[in-house]
Amino acid sequence: EVPTVNYPPYNIVKTGNNKYDIELALAGFNKKDINITSEDSMLTIESKSEDKSDKDGEVIHKGISKRYFKRSFTIADDVEIKGAELKDGLLRISMEKIVPEAKKLKTIEIK
């Protein structure tokens, strides 16, 4: 199955000084349906293969698809993935740009 290029839709939100969230709209997905992996500088969100058995009975019209998707984001080397949460159909992956102490603004005291 070929993943759809523009699915799922996503936002990248700046939540703080060096903090960012990637939000993906995943209506109908459960956290057990999704794999999130990070390797080198690539963050990948992928759905696990669809469970074909329909426990709720026969679907007469299938307008809500839980289609397979795989979406990757390139993450800078100094960005750390802090965690992920799926709530109300929105998967939120929190990241933080790690600024080394040596590069942070310091006030030098005059003696």
Nearest-CA neighbor of 31 among 95, 71, 67, 84? 84
CA dist 108 to 99, 103, 105, Å?
Answer: 19, 14, 10
For the chain, give the percent of residues with pLDDT over 70: 84
Q: State the pTM of this model.
A: 0.74
Residue 65: pLDDT band by 50, 70, 90 thresholds? low
How remote is the C-alpha of 58 from its chain's centroid?
Answer: 32
Per-residue pLDDT at 107: 87
